[in-house]
Amino acid sequence: LEQLLPGIGEIARLTLSPTSRYLGEVSALARLEHRAGVKVLALGRDGSFEVAPGSDTVLEAGDELVIAGTPDACAHAASLASG
């Protein structure tokens, strides 16, 4: 992936908890990206993944996000996603 997207940083996977502040909002992906400093690459739900989910995607508890960013940014995003 680094060869395809130089400088992409660390790739991490996180799961949204039922207490995440980002559930049920249309602009939640953009807010998470902005606040944590990561890029959401894919969203997993019900056993399938959507690459580059749109800004109109509404997040649900249990959704898996594949993100890219610095190690600190990915850790921050995981913290935000958990509650």
Q: What is the mean pLDDT of the chain?
A: 88
pLDDT at residue number 55: 81
**Rounded distance between C-alpha atoms, residue 29 and residue 40, angstroms:** 7
Q: Is the pLDDT of residue 1 over 70?
A: no
* pTM as predicted: 0.85
List all residues 6 or more positions away from 45 whose beta carbon is below 8 Å from its beta carbon: 60, 62, 63, 64
**Does residue 54 carry a pLDDT above 90?**
no
Edge-to-edge strand list for the sheet holding 48-51? 10-15, 64-69, 39-45, 48-51
